[in-house]
Amino acid sequence: MAQNVTFNKFGNLSFNGRDAIYRIPTEHLKSEDATEIERSIKRMAVGHKLEHQLLIPVEIENEGRYSLLKYDLSYLDLFDKLIEFSLREKLEYFRSLIAIAQEEKRGNLKVVWENVNFVVDKHENNIKVLMYETSSIPVFSDEDMNIVQRVKEMILLSLTRLNKIISLPKMIDLLEQDEINREFCQSLYHYDNLDDILYLIEETELRYINDEKEGEEDVKEEKSKRKFFKNTKSKNEKNIKLKKKESPVYMNPNRKNKKNSRFDKKTVMMLLAVVVIFIVYIAMELGGSGEPKMASVEDIQTQTSDATSTYFKSNDNKAITTSLLRAYRSFYSGRQKDAFTILETINKRDLDVSDLTMVIAVYDAENELATLLDSNPVPEMANEVITYLIKNDRLNRLSEIAPKMETSNPYIEFETAYMNADYKRVIELKDTVELNGRKEGQIVDAYLQLGQIQEATEFAQTVGNPDLFKIIDGYSTF
């Protein structure tokens, strides 16, 4: 049976079988050309940060007074389908809905915030949007609409039997009447910030994971108890049988008793296997091709202790900790885009120094290092980015990153100046950056390249680095 609803103020949206058709008077579009309308949609969707969530019509027709946009929903379900899922299953869909709202808040997207405009993709575990504003298709939204409030209403409707959210849902209204659902709805109802809602989603997911682990441990403990009592019973039965079997009365005095070994064959094999695994592990840790590579999970574990900045400190905020755990899980599983989306919401000042390498690696994978440096108010972050690039033998990437930055950063300017042999600029910036052995060597080299040996010597005396005098002496001898 076909379903028709008023949609986007002047149009209507109809669902018939596995198809959806958006019908709107052509006069309300900014173009009457079906080809131009299609191009405007693709220009908006293709390459967008949420490209995988923006649907593209399979067909666009112009029937004079009306224009029709047809969508194929063969593998999709209407938003109401979420009521059939458990809260644990819904969390991933809620996260994708938050991503859409965040993009609109940033001005990168404009959608029609009506339930019928959102569909569920069970294969990708996310929410997709049918209609969004392009250069040809306007969105007639209420200027007073509160996006955060709308998101909350959509989520709460998917968790309850209610048709409209007027007040805090009661326990009897919930589809799943348990403590986790109750606390989730109660917290969500009082939040007025998308970041807080995202933290709530992450925290709830972590709670489910912890509960599952505790359940697994309980099962293991129960099995262990059963096995213990079973083995005890078997041993007792065996001892009873052995007692019934009496030793022979007469023994050969020349017969030697066989000495029992402390290790049976099975134990020896297990020990050998452990030794082999340990040797392979050491070989993998010490080995390497010497070729530059992107940071891996192992790199993250080995590099965290090398972070140089003392500005960053850990935050005891449970929501931030939960988000970081989610980001780590996404990073380890290779879902860099998901990790990036999570990390975007975290104030980098709240990071622990041990988290910096993972954060930088994620932003690097998404080609967003310039964004990380621009949006982060801590200058020392640039120093950590430089250290990361050096360790991965990719310092030349600074020539690509620097032009994309909208703000000036002394650390980036210092490195690029040295790379471009702008030695005067290097010396000008020497008092604006935190010095270490490497930067001190670069400054001395800059003085020497300009023929300023006396200045190089005075600088070396000031910082008290004996290695610098070797560089100066070597240059003077040459």
Q: Calculate the average pLDDT of the chain.
A: 79
Query: CB neighbours of 186 closer than 8 A, spacing ≥ 6?
Result: 168
What is residue 331's three-state secondary structure? Answer: helix
Highest mean pLDDT among 4-18, 148-162, 197-211, 298-312: 148-162
Q: What is the pLDDT of residue 94?
A: 95
Gyration radius of the chain's alpha carbons:
33
What integer is the mean pLDDT of 242-271?
43
> What is the rounded distance in angstroms from the CA atom of residue 438 to the CA atom of residue 467?
11
Q: What is the pLDDT of residue 473?
A: 83
What integer is the mean pLDDT of 362-390?
82
What integer is the mean pLDDT of 40-57?
90
Tokens of 352: 């622990």
What is residue 323's three-state secondary structure? Answer: helix
Please count the other Cβ atoms lying within 10 Å of the Cβ belonging to residue 469.
Answer: 14
Highest mean pLDDT among 91-95, 245-249, 335-339: 91-95
Spacing of C-alpha 289 from chain mean position: 28
Q: What is the pLDDT of residue 471?
A: 85
Q: What is the pLDDT of residue 8?
A: 92
**Could you read off the pLDDT of 156-210 as tens digits, one per residue?**
999 999 999 999 999 999 999 999 999 999 999 999 899 889 889 988 988 888 8
Q: What is the pLDDT of residue 300?
A: 37
Alpha-carbon distances of 108 from 49, 53, 163, 189, 375, rounded to whole Å: 9, 14, 31, 26, 17
Beta bridge partners of 77: 120
Burial class (CB in 10 A: 0-12, 13-18, 19+), 209: middle
Alpha-carbon distances of 458 from 83, 215, 319, 444, rounded to whole Å: 73, 67, 50, 10
Indicate the pTM of the whole model: 0.52
Tell me which of 199-203, 330-334, 399-403 is least confident. Answer: 330-334
Contact 198, 98 (CB under 8 A): yes
Please count the other Cβ atoms lying within 10 Å of the Cβ belonging to residue 3.
Answer: 11
Query: CB neighbours of 406 closer than 8 A, spacing ≥ 6?
Result: 374
Confidence of residue 117 (pLDDT cuts 50, 70, 90): very high
Tokens of 456: 């190089």
Confidence of residue 387 (pLDDT cuts 50, 70, 90): confident
DSSP for 387-440 reads HHHHHTT-GGGHHHHHHH-SS--HHHHHHHHHHTT-HHHHHHTTTTS---HHHH
> What is the rounded distance in angstroms from the CA atom of residue 447 to the CA atom of residue 435?
16
What integer is the mean pLDDT of 322-341?
81
> What is the rounded distance in angstroms from the CA atom of residue 103 to the CA atom of residue 448?
51
Burial class (CB in 10 A: 0-12, 13-18, 19+), 70: middle
Q: What is the pLDDT of residue 317?
A: 64
Tokens of 34: 């079906």
Q: What is the pLDDT of residue 421?
A: 92
Which amino acid, one-letter code, is at 185? C
The conformation of residue 111, written as its DSSP 8-state character, comes to: B
Could you give the percent of the chain with pLDDT greater than 70? 76
**Could you read off the pLDDT of 197-227 as tens digits, one per residue?**
988 998 898 888 888 777 666 666 666 656 5
Is residue 2's pLDDT more than 50? Answer: yes
Is residue 137's pLDDT more than 60? Answer: yes
What integer is the mean pLDDT of 328-356?
80
Q: What is the pLDDT of residue 212?
A: 79
Q: What is the pLDDT of residue 372?
A: 87
* Long-range contacts at 435-442 (CB < 8 A, ≥ 24 apart): 435/463, 436/308, 437/465, 437/467, 439/414, 440/465, 440/468, 441/467, 441/468, 441/471, 442/414, 442/418
Tell me which of 107-121, 285-299, 378-392 is least confident. Answer: 285-299
